[in-house]
Structure formats: C-alpha cells, structure tokens
Amino acid sequence: MRIVILIVSFILESVISNFFPVNSFFVSLFSLTAIVAIYPLFEDEKRKYFLAAFLLGLAYDLIYTDTIIFEAFLFLFIAYLVTVLRTVLSDNFLNSIVILLVCIVAYRTINYFSLIITGNLDFNLHNYLASIYKSIILNVIYCLALNPIVNFIKRRKKKSYLF
C-alpha cells in the first residue's frame, strides 16, 4: 500500500501540472509530500523507506527533470531529514505540516542554489521565495488528504499484528 501511495502521488503530480501552469500559484510537489506523509508506514523499516525515497527520486529524475541521480540523492536527503524531524516531533497533523514545510524549504533551497552554482540561473531573491510559497498551499492540502489514509493503513496494519 505504501508503494501505491508513492506511485499515485508521482502520477498525480504529472496530471496536476497539466491543469496548473509552471508559473501558477499552485506548484505540486506531490512526490515529496508523499515521502513526508508515508513515513509512519515505514517506522520499523527505515532502510526500505530510504530505498523507496531513492527510487522515487530516480524516477523523478528520469521523467520530470532529465537529471541523472541528482533528484534521487535529494529525495534521499529529504527522507533523512524526515526521519530526523520525526524523532524530535510527534506523529500528528500539525507536526506533519511543519515537517512538510521544512522539507519544501530544504528541497527548493537545494534545487535553487544548485542551479545557481551550475550557472543555469541567476540569483533573484524574489524568484527563490516565490518558488517556496507557491509550493506550500497545494502540497499542504495534499498532505492533509494523505494523513487520514496513512493513519487508516497504520491502524489496519497494527490490527493485523494483534491477530
């Protein structure tokens, strides 16, 4: 079920990008949001969580960005960031949103400054901040939609261990 959520998020990101242009106020990062949201399903299997994040990043590289390995390692870093933040913060709706916001800022910052370092982009504070705040609304809504699904799967998984 964890992999289904990742695949649906990956495909949904492509579908949503057809409805909202790149410069719109709603920029989808559903794959990243799914990495944050599904962590509770991998609590006892961190190695599988990191592998899933890496493979999703690799698919993201090949399908969306045409970079080789960069997004895979970036998604792996985001997964590590989620594991660190989840050890500090408890598992609830508000903390999921806080973790998502930290991950969006980290993801956008690393992407933006890597484009500056490689010479593909000139630094513009307005564009940098716009890339962050345009990513927040839609992805917070998606995270709020994923949380009840993840909690349901988690409860069902715990029930199956009892019997």
Q: Strands (DSSP E) along the chain, which ranges? A: none
Residues of the chain above pLDDT 70, percent: 96
Q: What is the mean pLDDT of residues 64-93?
A: 91
Q: Is residue 21 part of a domain?
A: no
pLDDT of residue 91: 81
Has residue 131 been placed in a domain? yes
Residue 19 is assigned to a structural domain of this protein: no
Q: How many domains are there within the chain? A: 1
Phi, psi of 45, deg, nearest 5? -130, 65
**pLDDT band, residue 158 (cuts 50/70/90):** confident
Task: Decide if 18 is inside a domain.
Answer: no
pTM, full prediction: 0.90
One-letter amino acid for residue 102 of the chain: V
> Does 52 reside within a domain?
yes
- Host domain of residue 115: 2-9+29-157
Residues 31, 56: contact at Cβ < 8 Å? yes
Q: What is the pLDDT of residues 4-47, one digit of tens each?
A: 999 999 999 888 888 877 677 788 899 999 999 999 999 789 99
